[in-house]
Amino acid sequence: MFDIGEHNVLFGLIGGLGLFLFGMRTMSDSLQKVAGDRMRKILATLTNNRIVGAFVGLTVTAIIQSSSATTVMVVGFVNAGLLSLVQAVGVVLGANIGTTITAQLISLNIAEYALPAIGLGTAIALFSKDRHKGYWGEILLGFGLLFLGLSFMKQAFDPLKHSEEILQIFTLIGDYPLIGVLIGGLLTIIVQSSTATIGLTLALATSGLVSFEASVALILGENIGTTITANFAAIGTNLAARRTAFCHFLFNAIGVTYMLIFFPFFIDLVELLTPGDADAIITTQAQVDLLGGGIGDKPFIARHIANTHTLFNVINTIVFLPILGLLARLSTVLIRGQERTVKMGAQFIDSRVLNTPPIALGQARRETLRMARITLEMLQSTNLFIEAGDLKRVKGLENQEILVDLLQKEITDFLVALSQKSVAAQTSREIATLIHIVNDFERIGDNCENLWKLGQRKIESNIVFTETGMNELADISGKTEEFLTFVVEGIEGGDTFIGSTAIGYEDTIDHLEKAARNSHIERLNTGECAVRPGMIFLDLLHNFAKISDHTYNIAEAVERKDE
């Protein structure tokens, strides 16, 4: 059984850690909302230049305050074929530096501003009519909760200063850095947050429970533990994505290994670059008034820990950046296997990025464009089939229809899951628009299926249309294909002002259908055309008209998207 003091330690630690994690999550999520599409555009600037890739990783992680989120996104991009292995590894190296900004932030002695930040942030988030300003309020709220949680953790550890048994345990970590590395790695895996491990380390260190050497060992372990998140995210992905996650583990593990070999020199380097004695302890009230904290605290160690984290990742990046290709080849040797044939279905969407709505929305746009191109190819192949009657085309058309149906389901499921996240109003509107567009493309696919099945019936029944009828079909099919091509090219080029031209296409196709229908009735009356061929002819006209209707719906949705 615990006594009251021990209860305070346990409850203070659990509560403080909970506040810290919740504050970190709130701040990170709100920063992502504020960043919006800018973050997606930053990722879109990636090139094969490894330095640019590392800088992009650093920038994105600094924006969203989560290296785990960045590496999980990168794994998703590699799995979707958006990034090469070398590009991805460069981004992850930069992300490792970007995440150290969090440690630098929480090492500042500004816990006294936690409560005002919570109060002001809550007021802005609750009462601001501007949603964008509300996100800034949530950022401030998360910032305050983070520091409040850190303060609670530190207070929870204060009673342990007087326990000789606890002090001896923590002394072992300083004497045997490998133990500290293992503990740091295990803690990070358990809480799934490297920032939380750093927060715990800071609370322990500033309370005077652990030495600077022990803190460094824990931080090194955290750098290995944080790679496990990306490796979990890579389960079930393709070889390139698994190799990317493994590279993250590889260069952090190798980096920790050589840091342990040169441990005394690394400690000396950090102390040289950071003012103050890391293990200096506050012993008088005058020092408390000057430096803050309490008797027995270490006022300078937080800055040393933050600089340790940053310096380790900067050195590691400098070491590995020139040899990314070698690292990628090493991961290829260690993670063996032949790449499986890509399954029929979505290529660009990945549920691992749903917690980053701007990135997820960008993926959905790209997958929707892919679906649009496939649907257009399906219509083109259908028109060629009806014109030439080549039954060899049917198998390809069947595969395209299956793929369009799969894409409609997968994109819609992805967008519905995204809509259930906390997203901006503009993002919510675009999600609804994309769902409508995807459904209309799927219906166009259904109409194409109706067309080529009607074409099959025509061939199997040895039905021959009149020359006039064939010319009328060619006119409406050609104009329908031209209309869909125009809309798909508009989506591809980001042209949202296609509504007026779309009206012209829609009116023209309606006129062509009406004229062909009336012409067919005249041929029936004169006996030039029989009833059975006429039914197939009219059904063909109807499906082309329906394709035009759905294409017009898509054009309208594209134009409304930016309103």
What string of pLDDT tens digits covers the 563 residues of the chain? 333 344 566 777 788 778 877 887 787 777 766 665 555 555 555 555 677 778 887 877 777 666 666 766 676 666 656 667 777 788 888 888 888 887 788 777 676 788 888 899 899 988 888 777 888 888 889 888 877 887 787 677 666 666 666 666 666 776 788 888 898 888 888 777 777 778 888 887 887 778 888 888 989 988 888 887 667 766 766 677 778 778 888 888 999 999 999 999 999 999 998 888 877 776 666 655 555 666 656 777 888 888 998 999 999 989 888 888 788 788 888 887 655 444 457 788 878 778 778 878 888 998 999 999 999 999 999 999 988 888 888 888 888 888 898 899 999 999 999 998 888 888 888 999 999 999 999 999 999 999 989 988 888 888 888 888 889 999 999 999 999 999 999 888 876 677 778 899 999 999 999 998 998 888 878 777 777 777 888 999 999 999 999 999 999 888 765 55
Cβ-in-10-Å burial (0-12, 13-18, 19+) of 139 comes to: buried
Q: Record the tokens describing residue 529, joined without a space.
A: 């055309």
Q: What is the DSSP letter of 112?
A: G
Instruction: Read off the tokens for 373.
Output: 């191109």
CATH topology of domain 351-560: Methane Monooxygenase Hydroxylase; Chain G, domain 1 (1.20.58)
| Cβ proximity of 218 and 224 under 8 Å | no
* pLDDT recorded at residue 381: 92
**How high is the pLDDT of residue 436?**
94
- Residue matched to tokens 């040899």: 323
Q: Report d(CA 489, CA 510) in Å as an integer.
A: 22
Confidence at residue 208, expressed as pLDDT on a 0 to 100 scale: 76
- The domain segmentation of the chain, as residue ranges, is 4-334, 351-560
Q: Summarize the chain as % helix, strand, coil (round to 5).
A: 80, 0, 20
Tell me how crowded residue 338 is: count the other CB atoms within 10 A of its CB: 6
In angstroms, rounded to a whole number, what is the distance separating the alpha carbons of residues 141 and 124?
9
Rounded Cα–Cα distance for residues 78 and 121 (Å)? 37
Q: Sign of torsion, CA 11 15 16 21?
A: positive
Sign of the CA dihedral running 58, 59, 62, 66: negative
Give the pLDDT score at 167.
61
In this predicted structure, what is the pLDDT of residue 550? 95
Q: Under a CB-based contact definition with an 8 Å cutoff, are residues 197 and 218 in contact?
A: yes
Question: For residues 341 and 202, what is the distance between their CA atoms, to the nearest angstrom?
Answer: 48
pLDDT score at 540: 92
For residue 251, what pLDDT is reported? 85
CA–CA distance, 500 with 505 (Å, rounded to integer): 9
Strands (E), 219-299: none
Tokens for 79?
A: 């799995």
Number of Cβ atoms within 10 Å of the Cβ of 104 = 15
pLDDT of amino acid 438: 95
If phi over 0 gives left and psi between -120 and 50 gives alpha, with beta otherwise, what is residue 497? beta
Contact 371, 409 (CB under 8 A): no
Q: Give the DSSP per-residue string, 503-537.
A: HHHHHHHHHHHHHHHHHHHHHHHHTSS-HHHHHHH
Based on DSSP, count helices (H) and strands (E) in the chain, helices before strands: 24, 0
- What CA–CA distance (Å, rounded) separates 68 from 61? 9
Assigned token pair, 285: 């009230």
Q: What pLDDT score does 460 carry? A: 83
Q: At how many degrees (to 10) do helices 212-225 and 239-261 cross?
A: 170
Name which of 147, 141, 316 is nearest 226 in CA terms: 316
Maximum Cα–Cα distance for the chain, whole Å?
113
Distance separating alpha carbons of residues 324 and 85, to the nearest angstrom: 9
Show the tokens assigned to 97.
């530096």
Of the chain, the end-to-end C-alpha distance in Å amounts to 64
- Distance CA(384)–CA(488), nearest Å, equals 19
